[in-house]
Structure 1
């Protein structure tokens, strides 16, 4: 068996072995397994069944990880995207007003579109044409969006009629627990403790057993009847599996139809930029870049990311994409092949036996994970020359407007328009690509129609 694994995954060629790959896969899993705890809580706010989302999250992650491991032989983890889950729930469903079944259809359409772009290799041309400041700031803006969601969810910040936002009631035990979880998780991550985010979630969950919510009078964490359980897959996934539909999606007001179209574009662009960004950033750390600067199997990896989004929507979860920071932890442990990804995928399946444990986790326990992931995602900003206003303007608009408008799409839209204005003002209009010009015109038309309608 060892020799067969060596031959199939080319372990010797990439300077690794089975033991190293298994340890790397376990490490990667421990850093991204928090998604099976976080995702059900966020998507349930859109009216989706919590247990079904848990199953969809674990199964979609397992399929995508094993797929990229076997087919592309790359050590990357894939799972439902943080940020896009909040966008799915709080904007597409709760603000735009789409039923979650239609929102899943938006995810599926974006995934299928991504697949087509990958097959015709158009996605690389689009990404290459986009300015670096937009590519880097999109992820950072989503990071602030995620962190803002976590802080609001924990009650650490709250709305105010006088100042719009203000500090939450820190006398509330739930807010204090969440604040403790944020600092505990940060300490664990700084100390490079494997699974630091998961440990933080479990620590706050455990303390939540002892602390009651002053509003309900019930403990924040309600202990289930059993910890280990395995439900009938058909029954467990029935509430969300195959429930996506386009029926009624484009029958609303013109403004709502525009919103739906832009939601699809947003799911597509974020998945596209994230996937390309991870491939460019993490592959070099894994020594997977050849002498020409190319990444072998990059096309296959993008196709898996695209297909994963469509599969995830069918199962009942938001966009599945490549995890960058989490994959990097396994790579730092020596993971170099698809065996790492396969181990991660198999471990995701094992979480299905612990569904009561993950489903009892309260929102105050997942808030620290949201904040910590947000911190991870602002790292690309350091690569940008922010002393240049032509760069700082689009970066600021992208990063600021995502959390302030609670809409990832508006961040991308205003960021690109700001970039175009900055380049024109600097006399560099001729250096802009046709793709940027075309997207700028489309975004301006969208804004105009949004105002008129």
Structure 2
């Protein structure tokens, strides 16, 4: 067995061993398994079947992890992207009005396009041409976006007719329990407890058994009749598997069609920037960068990220991508090869027999996970020169517009326009790349059409 593992993963060459890789894989799994509970909770707002979403989330993560482990031999976790799932549910479906079947079609198109860009190595050129401040701001903006989603989901932040937003009723036991869960999870993270986010989700879930929702009169957590289920995969996935469709996507008003096109572009760009940024950042921590500053197998990893997005759409979930912070936890435990990713993928498969446990988790229990992931994602802002207004302007526009408009795409749009305005005002227009000029022009035209239509 050790000889087979050595041939597949080259453990000795990278200075590791099976025991270390297994521990690293378990560590990564504990930090990102919350996704099989959180993703269905978010996408369920579209009316999609919860059990099918659970299966699609776990299965897409398992396939992606094992794929990147065996083919690219990299210790990266993959799964449905936080932020893009909220964008899928709350904007593309609930605001734009696109049926979830068409929204999955948007994800499939973006994933397929990403694959083509990966094959022809165009994705690296696009990302290299984008300003660093925009690349870092997108992740931070998504962090604020999903944290805001968690706070509103828990009733900690609510709508106000006078001030638009205000603090929710903390006398409500659900909001109070979610708030306590956020601070409890934060303490665990600060103390370096492995699986802190999952523990926080489970703690609120357990307490929810004993606390009743004043609106329904029922407990927040409804205990299942069984803990283990051996569901027929075909039946469990049937409500979402293969349901994506392109039919009717490009019909309706010009504004609707533009919205669909921009949604596809948003899925593509966010996945593109996020994958490359995470890939390079995590690879550096893992010591996978060679003496020339290049990363072997980077192209394979990006292709897997793109292909997994398309596979996830077929299964019935939003964009699947590389996990950065979660992968870093396993790398810090010594994970250096694809065996780490394969262990994580196998553990995701095992969650499928525990579906009743994960499906009983209430929405207030996933709020701490959303907020903590949002906190993790704002870290890139610390390296930006925010004392320079020409940089601070696009950063602010990107980060502020995403949560305030509940739209990731608008954050990217206004951020890039803000960057162009700042550079022109600073007399640095000649330093702007052709790609930035073209995208700025396209975004301005989009806004003009959006206003007129």
Tell me the TM-score range normalised by the shorter chain.
Answer: over 0.9
1:369-426 CA deviation, whole Å, 9 max, x = no partner? 0000000000000010000011000000000000000000000000000000111111
Shift of 1:249: 0.6
Shift of 1:231: 0.4
Distance in 2 (CA, whole Å) between partners of 1:153 and 1:44 is: 13
1:166 aligned counterpart, secondary structure: strand
Which residue number corresponds to residue 68 of structure 1?
68
Which residue number corresponds to residue 225 of structure 2?
225
Q: Does 1:190 align with 2:190?
A: yes
- In structure 1, the gaps of 5 or more residues are none
5 Å-filtered alignment, 1:4-43, equals 4-43=4-43
Which residue number corresponds to residue 131 of structure 1?
131
Distance in 1 (CA, whole Å) between partners of 2:311 and 2:264 is: 16
1:322 aligned counterpart, secondary structure: strand
Which residue number corresponds to residue 260 of structure 2?
260
Shift of 1:7: 2.1
Shift of 1:273: 0.6
Which residue number corresponds to residue 409 of structure 1?
409
Which residue number corresponds to residue 306 of structure 1?
306
Distance in 2 (CA, whole Å) between partners of 1:96 and 1:413 is: 17
Distance in 1 (CA, whole Å) between partners of 2:197 and 2:295 is: 30
Shift of 1:6: 1.4
Distance in 2 (CA, whole Å) between partners of 1:123 and 1:81 is: 19
Shift of 1:279: 1.1
Q: Does 1:141 align with 2:130?
A: no
2:442 aligned counterpart, secondary structure: helix
Which residue number corresponds to residue 203 of structure 2?
203
Q: Does 1:295 align with 2:295?
A: yes
Distance in 2 (CA, whole Å) between partners of 1:383 and 1:309 is: 30
Which residue number corresponds to residue 119 of structure 1?
119
User: Which portions of structure 1, spanning 4 or more consecutive aligned residues, are displaced by more than 3 angstroms?
Assistant: none
Which residue number corresponds to residue 432 of structure 1?
432
Shift of 1:4: 1.3
Which residue number corresponds to residue 93 of structure 1?
93
Which residue number corresponds to residue 420 of structure 1?
420
Which residue number corresponds to residue 159 of structure 2?
159
1:20-41 CA deviation, whole Å, 9 max, x = no partner? 0000000000000000000111
Distance in 2 (CA, whole Å) between partners of 1:425 and 1:41 is: 44
Which residue number corresponds to residue 239 of structure 1?
239
2:46 aligned counterpart, secondary structure: coil
1:201-256 CA deviation, whole Å, 9 max, x = no partner? 00000000000000000000000000111200000000000000011111011001
- In structure 2, the gaps of 5 or more residues are none
1:134-170 CA deviation, whole Å, 9 max, x = no partner? 0000000000000000000000110000000000000
Which residue number corresponds to residue 358 of structure 2?
358
Please provide the CA RMSD for this pair: 0.4
1:185-212 CA deviation, whole Å, 9 max, x = no partner? 1011111111100000000000000000
Which residue number corresponds to residue 278 of structure 1?
278
Which residue number corresponds to residue 215 of structure 1?
215
1:165 aligned counterpart, secondary structure: strand
Which residue number corresponds to residue 3 of structure 2?
3
2:280 aligned counterpart, secondary structure: helix
Distance in 1 (CA, whole Å) between partners of 2:42 and 2:118 is: 30
Distance in 2 (CA, whole Å) between partners of 1:119 and 1:436 is: 23
1:10-29 CA deviation, whole Å, 9 max, x = no partner? 10010100000000000000
1:354 aligned counterpart, secondary structure: helix
Shift of 1:91: 0.2
1:74 aligned counterpart, secondary structure: coil
2:78 aligned counterpart, secondary structure: strand
Distance in 1 (CA, whole Å) between partners of 2:252 and 2:227 is: 44
Which residue number corresponds to residue 449 of structure 1?
449
1:159 aligned counterpart, secondary structure: strand
Which residue number corresponds to residue 328 of structure 2?
328
